[in-house]
Amino acid sequence: MASHSAGTGLRQILDQHTAQISEEVERLLAESREHERREFAGLRERDQQEFGETLAGAQREFGELQQRDRQEYAKSLADMQAEIAGLRERHQQELAEAVERERQHHGELREQDRQEHAAALAGAQSEMAALHERHSQELAEAVERERQHHGELREQDRQEHAAALAGAQQELAEAVERERQHHGELQERDRQEHAAALAAAQQELAEAVERERQQHGELREQDRQEHAAALTAAQGEMAALHERHSRELAEAVERERQHHGELREQERQEHAAALAGAQQELAEAVERERQLREQERQEYAAALAGAQWETAALRERHSQELAEAVERERQLREQERQEHAAALHERHSQELAEAVERERQHHTELREHDHREFSESLANARQELVDLRERHEGELAACLEGGRKDLADRLRQAVRRIRQAADWEELAATLTDAAAAYSSGAAWLRVADGKARGGPIRGVSDEAAEAFRSLEIPLASAAALAGALESRDPVIAAIAGSELSEALIQLPGHPAEGRVAIFPLVTKEGVPGLLYTWGNGQEAVLEMFAQVASAAWEVRTPPPPPAPELVRIDAALPAKAAPAGAAPRSAWEQLSPDEQQIHLRAQRYARVQAAEMRLHEAESVESGRARRNLYDLLQRPIDQARATFHQKFFVPCPSMVDYLHLELVRTLANDDAELLGTNYPGPLV
């Protein structure tokens, strides 16, 4: 009965430690998830950096495209300005040639008029040689009227020529203004199309491309301002050129007018001199005639009357012919001027329209080419970003899954090594090795007689490890160690002499500052030792290791002799006859020492296997208990454990008992064998 009570107490202790281990494993998994979340955040940050680099590359490519667009546009603008300058120069040459031809034609007309007038004057002088003073006065008045009429005609011709020239200049200015407006409309439409395309790209790239859109708008605005400045400069140059051309034309007209005035003045002087000579000759002739033929006055008067009538008729006919010739010449000059101006305007308009059409087509091709390249670059960048995100998500998922599996495997192996330690020395060394993997350094301190004695240590040199094994620390001088021993809870302390003792801090390899974590190994009898760690350790994992070691330490305490009755080994072992007169021995005492060790290892193996199934297959255990079919859900691990147990313990030990079956019933089925299910094969035999 007492042995049964001891076995029940041992089972309760194992249940408590198993529950604690389960809680610690859940906490460890939570810490693992938090660690994975931090790793995922790091990977996501790296993904964002790579995305930023890809976006920066796309922005650089777009900037290069935009720079090339501005260069090509500047080149096209320079070509158009060169064509306009060529057209303007050709127009100036044609206008100068027209003015030169007009001046030559005017000189020819003036020479012809002068010759005709000189011939008429010579005829009049020959006819007027016999006329009276009145005939001379009438002839002078007629010549004066003719000169005034010719001046009016010349002034009218000059005004018409100036009006035609002003009209041509106005038409040229209007054509240039229309071209400027049309080019501005094309530039505005191009800016709107680029802005629309950029807005679509910004909507797809969200806030990351918003800054790029603003930069692009600023560049477009700068481009538009540069174009406006260039166009204003071109207009200024054209206006200056027109002003200079108008001024040169005005100067040419003024020089022509002055030259014509000089010629008219010279002609008037020559005419006045000729008229004065004719008058003088006429006066002398009249005087001689009056003196010589006074007696023939009547006949001369009759002859003079006939000559006057003929002279008047001749003068009338000459005036009509001169007026008709002047009118024909004026009409001919007007027709030639109109034809020349129309041909010049048509040719200039056609050349200007062709230049504008070529520029518009070239600008349209450039805009389409740039839009196509931008669309292709944007599509490639978007596809690269999608591929990069998918690849990173796959790599991240694989990394997280691998890290989770690796962490679970390492924890499982560490727990298994701690549980399977053969003795207390191996348990301390295994616990120290496992803790060192999750901290900068770890050490084992065995507590006895108010002192903490050094044991296995990791994270220092071999000389320091040897010195640590001979170290003894009075708990009265180490407040942190004494606190962990008294509270039986983990203690986090700063590295200081009053907390840890100077001897421990001065140990080679031990940090001089920072903090340490102390985990007590709590058993039913007390605290046999302390797990001492330093550095940035994972405290949840270290505490779980300490609890697992506590459970393993407690089960390694030698049980009282009746303990084998827990597995009812008496019924399983064959009875041996006791010597006569000797007291009967228990079944456990009848086993040899080697067999007892095998039975203890078998019990330990059974407890470890059942605890691992309960830990790693918790959901299946709960579901199997509810459905009463634990074996169906845990068939693979149970069959593997049964096969190993049979091969390792039943074969070398004929007195072996199926401890694995007993542990499955106690740990998994809560002492109810029916929960294992109808398909469970039963104990090994």
pLDDT band for position 644 (cuts 50, 70, 90): very high
8 Å CB contact between 95 and 340: no
Question: What is residue 582's predicted lDDT score, i.e. its pLDDT?
Answer: 38
Question: What is residue 643's predicted lDDT score, i.e. its pLDDT?
Answer: 94
Span 512-529, average pLDDT: 86
Question: What is residue 562's predicted lDDT score, i.e. its pLDDT?
Answer: 34
Span 494-508, average pLDDT: 79
As a whole number of angstroms, the distance between CA 300 and CA 571 comes to 196
Question: What is residue 6's predicted lDDT score, i.e. its pLDDT?
Answer: 53
Please say if the pLDDT value at position 199 is more than 80.
Answer: no
**When comparing pLDDT for 390 and 608, which is higher?**
608
For residue 476, give both structure tokens.
């009265």
pLDDT band for position 628 (cuts 50, 70, 90): very high
Please say if the pLDDT value at position 660 is more than 90.
Answer: yes
Please say if the pLDDT value at position 637 is more than 90.
Answer: yes
The radius of gyration of the chain from alpha carbons, rounded to an integer in Å, stands at 63
Span 12-27, average pLDDT: 74
**When comparing pLDDT for 369 and 6, which is higher?**
369
Question: What is residue 282's predicted lDDT score, i.e. its pLDDT?
Answer: 63
- Which residue has tokens 């809680």? 23
Termini Cα distance of the chain: 27
Q: How many CB atoms lie within 10 A of CB 464?
A: 14
Pick from 265, 463, 448, 345: nearest CA to 94: 345
pLDDT > 70 in the chain, percent: 76
H-helix or E-strand spanning residue 493:
strand 491-494
Question: What is residue 514's predicted lDDT score, i.e. its pLDDT?
Answer: 83
Please say if the pLDDT value at position 319 is more than 90.
Answer: no
Please say if the pLDDT value at position 95 is more than 70.
Answer: no
Please say if the pLDDT value at position 579 is more than 50.
Answer: no
Those residues whose C-beta lies under 8 Å from the C-beta of residue 337, and which sit 6 or more positions away, are: 102, 160, 161, 164
Q: How many residues belong to the chain?
A: 685
Quick: pLDDT tens for 374-392.
778 778 877 877 787 777 7
For residue 543, give both structure tokens.
């505490």
Span 421-448, average pLDDT: 86
Span 125-154, average pLDDT: 70
Span 557-567, average pLDDT: 39
Report the predicted TM-score, pTM, of the whole model to 2 decimal places: 0.34
Of the candidate ranges 360-364, 437-441, 573-577, the one whose mean pLDDT is the lowest: 573-577
As a whole number of angstroms, the distance between CA 17 and CA 22 comes to 9
**When comparing pLDDT for 490 and 185, which is higher?**
490
Please say if the pLDDT value at position 146 is more than 70.
Answer: no
Question: What is residue 557's predicted lDDT score, i.e. its pLDDT?
Answer: 54
Please say if the pLDDT value at position 575 is more than 50.
Answer: no
Please say if the pLDDT value at position 567 is more than 60.
Answer: no
106-120, 128-142, 276-290, 321-335 — most confident range: 321-335
Give the 3-state secondary structure of residue 451: strand
Residues facing residue 519 across a β-bridge: 531
Backbone conformation region of residue 249, classed left if phi is above 0, alpha if psi is from -120 to 50, else beta: alpha
Quick: pLDDT tens for 156-176.
767 876 776 677 578 757 765
User: Does the CA dihedral 247-252-255-260 come out positive or negative?
Assistant: negative
309-313, 322-326, 533-537, 666-670 — most confident range: 666-670
Please say if the pLDDT value at position 674 is more than 70.
Answer: yes
Please say if the pLDDT value at position 658 is more than 70.
Answer: yes
pLDDT > 90 in the chain, percent: 10
pLDDT band for position 564 (cuts 50, 70, 90): very low
Span 313-342, average pLDDT: 81
Question: What is residue 563's predicted lDDT score, i.e. its pLDDT?
Answer: 37
Span 505-527, average pLDDT: 84
Q: How many CB atoms lie within 10 A of CB 294?
A: 9
pLDDT band for position 548 (cuts 50, 70, 90): confident
Question: What is residue 91's predicted lDDT score, i.e. its pLDDT?
Answer: 65
Which one-letter DSSP state was computed for residue 206? G
Please say if the pLDDT value at position 484 is more than 80.
Answer: yes
pLDDT band for position 571 (cuts 50, 70, 90): very low
Backbone conformation region of residue 677, classed left if phi is above 0, alpha if psi is from -120 to 50, else beta: left
Those residues whose C-beta lies under 8 Å from the C-beta of residue 617, and which sit 6 or more positions away, are: 633, 634, 637
Question: What is residue 569's predicted lDDT score, i.e. its pLDDT?
Answer: 41
As a whole number of angstroms, the distance between CA 361 and CA 81 comes to 16
**When comparing pLDDT for 580 and 48, which is higher?**
48
Mean pLDDT of the chain: 77
Please say if the pLDDT value at position 231 is more than 70.
Answer: no
pLDDT band for position 676 (cuts 50, 70, 90): very high
Please say if the pLDDT value at position 338 is more than 60.
Answer: yes
Question: What is residue 568's predicted lDDT score, i.e. its pLDDT?
Answer: 40
